[in-house]
Amino acid sequence: MKLIYRIVLRLSAVLIPLMALWGMLFFLMTVDEIHDEADDALDDYAELIIIRMLAGRELPSLNSGSNNSYSITPVDREYADSRSHIEYYDAEVYIPEKGETEPARILSTIFQDNDDNYYELKVAMPTFEKDDLVRTILFWIVLLYLLLLLTLIGVTTWIFHRSMQPLYALLRWLDHFTPGRRNDPVPDDTNITEFHRLNVAAQEAADRSEELFESQKQFIGNASHELQTPLAILGNRIEWLLDNTDPNEKQVEELFKMQRSLNHIVRLNKTLLLLAKIENGQFPESSEVDIAALIREQAPLYNEIYESRHIDCRIDLPEQFVVTMNDSLASTLVTNLLKNAYVHTEPNHGIDISLCDRTLVVANDGDTPLDGTHIFERFYQGNKKEGSTGLGLALVKAVCRYYNLGLAYDYIEGKHRFSVTWPYKKEEK
């Protein structure tokens, strides 16, 4: 989840209920105030009428331009005593001007004139105006609430993006950083202290990993040099013994065995160097390689070498399957998969090689499933084979990782299946 989404979500989670609560409180206070005002207005109106009545002056006409109305009814003393002095209530009132009944707020009070006559005064004020007001206020509060929320989130997002530019620049730079290739320095055009420190730290880490990478490369180069020369000396001394000392059968046998062990070390050394080179990404040059053709070329070689095992190799390949790879890595991939299958297949069993949907599957008969989690590790061998480096599948894995190919092992219906999948690329059709 992107940081900005997380911030917006959290901000919303807090602001939505909080602002709703504020809005509600504000609304309730306003409505309360409106009711109060309305009752006050009724009070004033009633007082005006009573004063005029008691003073014997002309009462206001029933229709004075407002929708207010009143009625005065003489009542007897008992009635007056039984009622409270002043009372507010809501009721339906008939309004003659409109010719219909409307909900209204009514004030009912009882007063007494100088002649001890009791009158009941009812003053009514239709509530539709008040309701209108309340509705309008509610509408605006909701609208303002939404507007405020959206503005807040929008502004936050914008400010966040603006302020986080240096972080995004750093992330983009990190995405493109590969040790051993030419890398630009960390972009640092910020005056924000925290980001500047982050950039400095990233640059230091990058420099350190570049240095490590360099020294590792140098170490491998030097180690290979140091190892290859004594290996060459040893091999040549054995050859000299063979050619110049007229050894007897036993001696020749021993010398040959020494030579084979030596060749094994040489192979191991070369393979480790190759692995290191692949993992260091030192195979930049690539070309169009036809994997199908490569298999057609390699499989007969293995058939010839392992002829005595009578392995039945079934090949199902398309006309061609062209990928962009380094050609020596492509051949490393294919030969190691094939070799693994041939070396580990029991005599009179079969191997299936197929290629479809950009997936190369090499399957061979086997009795027990292998440990899929360790099978691609260096020097992991189910059962030790003499002369095997134990690096074949590690090489396959290294090549797959180098080109982001999918590599999988599974055991289905008595077959070990190794599959390599080339992902679809836009430029490749």
CB 349, min distance to another protein, A: 14
Task: Choose, by CB under 8 A, the member of 7, 72, 343, 408 that binds another protein.
Answer: 343
Q: Judged by CB under 8 A, does residue 383 bind another protein?
A: no
Q: Judged by CB under 8 A, does residue 416 bind another protein?
A: no
Q: Which of residues 147-186 bind another protein (CB under 8 A)?
A: none
Cβ–Cβ under 8 Å, residues 271 and 391: yes
Q: Judged by CB under 8 A, does residue 381 bind another protein?
A: no
Beta strands in 244-375 (DSSP E): 287-290, 312-316, 322-325, 350-356, 359-365
Closer residue to another protein (CB): 2 or 250? 250
Q: Judged by CB under 8 A, does residue 293 bind another protein?
A: no
Tell me how far apart the alpha carbons of residues 114 and 132 are, in angstroms, rounded to a whole number.
42
Closer residue to another protein (CB): 306 or 321? 306
Q: Judged by CB under 8 A, does residue 72 bind another protein?
A: no
Q: Judged by CB under 8 A, does residue 79 bind another protein?
A: no
Task: Choose, by CB under 8 A, the member of 339, 353, 395, 396 that binds another protein.
Answer: 339
CB 236, min distance to another protein, A: 5
Q: Judged by CB under 8 A, does residue 214 bind another protein?
A: no
Q: Count Cβ atoms below 10 Å from residue 223 Cβ, excluding itself.
A: 14
Q: Judged by CB under 8 A, does residue 348 bind another protein?
A: no
Would you state the structure tokens that stand for residue 77, as one six-digit string?
């003393």
Cα 144–Cα 149–Cα 150 angle in degrees, nearest 5: 100
Task: Choose, by CB under 8 A, the member of 118, 173, 195, 306 that binds another protein.
Answer: 306
- Which residues, at least 6 apart from 7, have a Cβ–Cβ distance to it below 8 Å? 156, 160
Q: Judged by CB under 8 A, does residue 345 bind another protein?
A: no
DSSP string, 131-174: HHHHHHHHHHHHHHHHHHHHHHHHHHHHHHHHHTHHHHHHHHHH
Q: Judged by CB under 8 A, does residue 225 bind another protein?
A: yes
Beta strands in 306-349 (DSSP E): 312-316, 322-325
Q: Judged by CB under 8 A, does residue 309 bind another protein?
A: yes
Q: Among 210, 306, 228, which residue's Cα sits nearest to residue 267?
A: 228
x/- letters, 104..123, toward another protein (CB under 8 A): --------------------
Tell me how far apart the alpha carbons of residues 57 and 410 are, in angstroms, rounded to a whole number.
108
Task: Choose, by CB under 8 A, the member of 374, 385, 401, 425 that binds another protein.
Answer: 385
**CA dist list (Å): 409 to 103, 193, 384, 400:** 81, 50, 19, 13
Tell me how far apart the alpha carbons of residues 176 and 331 are, in angstroms, rounded to a whole number.
28
Rg (CA), the chain: 47
Tell me how far apart the alpha carbons of residues 337 and 421 are, in angstroms, rounded to a whole number.
13
Q: Judged by CB under 8 A, does residue 384 bind another protein?
A: no
Q: Which of residues 232-291 bind another protein (CB under 8 A)?
A: 232-237, 239-240, 242-244, 249, 252-253, 256, 259-260, 263-264, 266-267, 270, 273, 277
Task: Choose, by CB under 8 A, the member of 228, 286, 354, 421 that binds another protein.
Answer: 228
Tell me how far apart the alpha carbons of residues 394 and 221 are, in angstroms, rounded to a whole number.
21
Q: Judged by CB under 8 A, does residue 219 bind another protein?
A: no
Closer residue to another protein (CB): 384 or 429? 384
Closer residue to another protein (CB): 112 or 222? 222
Closer residue to another protein (CB): 6 or 260? 260
Task: Choose, by CB under 8 A, the member of 17, 185, 221, 372 that binds another protein.
Answer: 221
Cβ–Cβ under 8 Å, residues 309 and 345: yes
Q: Among 367, 351, 378, which residue's Cα sits nearest to residue 295?
A: 351
Q: Judged by CB under 8 A, does residue 215 bind another protein?
A: no
CA end-to-end span of the chain: 33
Cβ–Cβ under 8 Å, residues 406 and 358: no
Contact window for another protein (CB under 8 A) among 77-85, 87-95, 227-235, 363-371: 227-235
Tell me how far apart the alpha carbons of residues 144 and 120 are, in angstroms, rounded to a whole number.
46
Closer residue to another protein (CB): 159 or 232? 232
Interface positions with another protein (CB under 8 A): 221, 224-225, 228-237, 239-240, 242-244, 249, 252-253, 256, 259-260, 263-264, 266-267, 270, 273, 277, 298, 301-302, 304-309, 328, 335, 339, 343, 385, 387-388
